């Protein structure tokens, strides 16, 4: 097959900064209560090469205590330094275009009545969210159990808010997807360091957003994974 040489096609979708920022709306999450995470509990000592070489998808999982999952997210996704107001930018372990970080990490706690939580990356708190359509959480848990039947674990969903990237860049949607991949990889490496197991799934996790907002949201799901304690077999 001949190489594609049409420069117009090869540049289609390239991101370009806007001359001036467009107005954008911020998301209000339906928080019922929250708790602070305190200081990070570091993982057991290990070198970086060991983490890189041992990272793999773990499909046999049991549910980890919430404090372990919350500590993992605090390490992998919380802001280390923030500046600006609108938009608010921050330094975190994973890279993000313009330091915007348009992704929220949601946690769906599995069980007969699943709950949905969110990491507040600036306040280092876990927020309990009020679902508008709780049945969609059950649907998500059922979907995950069909994909990874040996994982009786929690579900992580990356909730993307394209408003700020779209306000700053033209053709910004690819930035959101690239940020989602970087964040998922960072969470996966941190899970390995903490001796937790994680398995990304093919489903995006849109059920979580439908559970919280119904059909009235501009957010979209950009990836999901199950996370828990690995089950070792003799």
Contact 42, 188 (CB under 8 A): no
Structure tokens at 94: 């994973």
180: Cβ–Cβ under 8 A, 6 or more apart, which residues? 103, 158, 160, 222, 223
**What pTM was estimated for this model as a whole?**
0.92
Which CATH number describes the domain made up of 60-230? 3.40.109.10
- Quick one: pLDDT at residue 12? 56
- pLDDT exceeds cutoff 60 at 35: yes
Distance CA 129, CA 71 (A): 19
Q: How many other C-beta atoms lie within 10 A of the C-beta of residue 11? A: 10
The per-residue pLDDT for range 112-135, each reduced to its tens digit, is 899 999 999 999 999 999 999 999
Helices vs. strands in the chain: H and E counts, helices first: 7, 12
The per-residue pLDDT for range 4-31, each reduced to its tens digit, is 445 544 555 799 999 999 999 999 999 9
- Quick one: pLDDT at residue 184? 98
Distance CA 66, CA 70 (A): 6
Q: Are strands 89-91 and 81-83 parallel, antiparallel or unpaired?
A: antiparallel
Q: What ranges do the domains of the chain cover? A: 60-230
Residue 87, preceding peptide bond in cis (omega within 30° of 0): yes
pLDDT bin (cut points 50, 70, 90) of residue 234 is very low
114: Cβ–Cβ under 8 A, 6 or more apart, which residues? 108, 134, 137, 138, 140, 141
């Amino acid at each position: 097959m001949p190489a594609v040489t049409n420069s117009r096609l090869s540049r289609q979708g390239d991101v370009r900064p806007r001359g001036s920022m467009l107005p954008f709306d911020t998301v209000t999450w339906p928080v019922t209560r929250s708790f602070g995470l305190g200081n990070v509990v570091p993982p057991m000592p290990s070198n970086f090469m060991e983490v890189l070489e041992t990272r793999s998808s773990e499909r046999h999982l049991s549910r980890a205590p919430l404090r372990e999952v919350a500590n993992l997210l605090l390490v992998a996704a919380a802001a280390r330094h923030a500046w600006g107001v609108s938009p608010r930018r921050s330094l975190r372990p994973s890279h993000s275009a313009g330091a915007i970080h348009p992704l929220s990490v949601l946690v769906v706690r599995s069980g007969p009545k699943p709950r949905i939580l969110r990491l507040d990356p600036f306040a280092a708190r876990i927020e309990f969210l009020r679902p508008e359509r709780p049945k969609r959480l059950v649907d998500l848990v059922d979907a995950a159990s069909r994909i990874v039947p040996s994982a009786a674990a929690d579900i992580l969903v990356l909730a993307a808010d394209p408003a700020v990237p779209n306000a700053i860049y033209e053709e910004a949607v690819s930035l959101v997807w690239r940020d989602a991949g970087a964040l998922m990889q960072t969470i996966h490496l941190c899970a390995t360091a903490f001796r937790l197991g994680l398995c990304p799934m093919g489903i995006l996790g849109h059920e979580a957003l439908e559970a919280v907002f119904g059909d009235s949201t501009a957010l979209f799901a950009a990836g999901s994974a199950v996370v828990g304690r690995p089950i070792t077999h003799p």
